Structure 1
Amino acid sequence: MSSPMPQRSDYPHFQPITTRWNDNDTYGHINNVTYYSFFDTAVNTYLIHVGGLDIHEGEVVGFVVSSSCDYFASVAFPDLIEVGLRVGKLGNSSVQYELAVFKAGESEACAAGRFVHVFVDRASNRPVPVPPQLRQALEFLVV
């Protein structure tokens, strides 16, 4: 990765996550695909609790349309981690999240990633503007 390693101070919001025994792979560390679950958990927890997203019956849902992750250091069960969350770009109907996984209390990231949500009407699957309450919550995270 050509950019500097993400630091804890780069993120305005953190979601604590407890690693699980089955997150480890045969090599003794958290499997790479599990990091995407960490990202999804951090973002959706924020959207539900801060942005008021109703994942069960709301008219608007977020679809992931792009994602990536870079890895710097291993994490393994029973590590406690915190996922840093910020918004790199907030568009009319989309948002690009920038995330980093930190071991609890450490300042340098073990992994950093990004993904893009496009908000769509649940019934039609067509893009819609980010709802006002969600937009307000996301604006707090814009860097």
Structure 2
Amino acid sequence: MKSIAYIEDIEKWRESFSFSVPIKIRFSETDMFGHVNNVSPFIYFEEARIEFLKSIGLFEMNSDNAVPVAADLQCDYLHQLFFNDKLDVYVKVNTVGNTSMDVHYMGINQDNRICVTGRGRLVYINPKTGKPVPLDDHVKQNLS
């Protein structure tokens, strides 16, 4: 397996995930060569991220105080995915900063093979000003 900058030990990293959402690859997510289009994993990451944040009470669309926004995202493609494949997309918080968190993603197909990995920075911002907001202790506690 290729070296991935944000993963030190792939097996240890893989075992550190506990939250996942199932994804079934739709035909519309494939390209003319029959495999998943390179933008689709970012959609899968978003779906997993939102469900994860909802599960720990940190995704509220009507919040006046702070909302999470993606500041950067990256994806490493390890194995091709095809129409009708089943993918479990795992998500976890890797590190928590003052106003942001580093989130990791892993997509495992029906053959138990890691097909995609990813990471991204989520920043909590004030929706009115667009400025970063420090994470309070309640949020940090929910993330650990």
Q: Report the TM range for the smaller structure's normalisation.
A: 0.7 to 0.9
Partner residue in 1 for 2:53: 47
Partner residue in 1 for 2:31: 25
| Residue 141 (structure 2) aligned to one of 131, 136, 139 | 136
Q: Does 1:117 align with 2:96?
A: no
TM, length-normalised to structure 1: 0.85
Please report how far the alpha carbon of residue 12 of structure 1 lies from its aligned counterpart in structure 2 after TM superposition.
Answer: 2.1
Please report how far the alpha carbon of residue 5 of structure 1 lies from its aligned counterpart in structure 2 after TM superposition.
Answer: 4.6
**For the structure 1 residues 10 and 27, does the alpha-carbon distance in structure 2 shift closer, same or farther, using more than 3 Å as the test?**
farther
Please report how far the alpha carbon of residue 66 of structure 1 lies from its aligned counterpart in structure 2 after TM superposition.
Answer: 1.2
TM, length-normalised to structure 2: 0.84
**For the structure 1 residues 88 and 52, does the alpha-carbon distance in structure 2 shift closer, same or farther, using more than 3 Å as the test?**
closer
Q: Distance in 2 between matches of 1:88 and 1:104?
A: 25
| CA root-mean-square deviation | 1.9
Please report how far the alpha carbon of residue 133 of structure 1 lies from its aligned counterpart in structure 2 after TM superposition.
Answer: 4.5
| Residue 65 (structure 1) aligned to one of 63, 67, 71 | 71
Unaligned runs of 5+ in 1: none
Local SS of the residue matching 2:21: strand
Please report how far the alpha carbon of residue 18 of structure 1 lies from its aligned counterpart in structure 2 after TM superposition.
Answer: 2.1
| Residue 100 (structure 1) aligned to one of 92, 97, 106 | 106
Please report how far the alpha carbon of residue 61 of structure 1 lies from its aligned counterpart in structure 2 after TM superposition.
Answer: 1.1
Identity of aligned residues (%): 26
Q: Distance in 2 between matches of 1:69 and 1:124?
A: 30
> Quick one: higher RCO (CA 8 Å, sep 6+), 1 or 2?
1
Q: Is the 8 A contact 2:59 2:68 kept in 1?
A: no
Q: Distance in 2 between matches of 1:87 and 1:69?
A: 16
Unaligned runs of 5+ in 2: none
Local SS of the residue matching 2:39: helix
**For the structure 1 residues 124 and 102, does the alpha-carbon distance in structure 2 shift closer, same or farther, using more than 3 Å as the test?**
same
Q: Is the 8 A contact 1:62 1:119 kept in 2?
A: yes
Partner residue in 2 for 1:90: 96
Q: After alignment, is 73-82 or 12-21 more displaced?
A: 12-21
Q: Is the 8 A contact 2:52 2:91 kept in 1?
A: no
Q: Distance in 1 between matches of 2:10 and 2:81?
A: 16
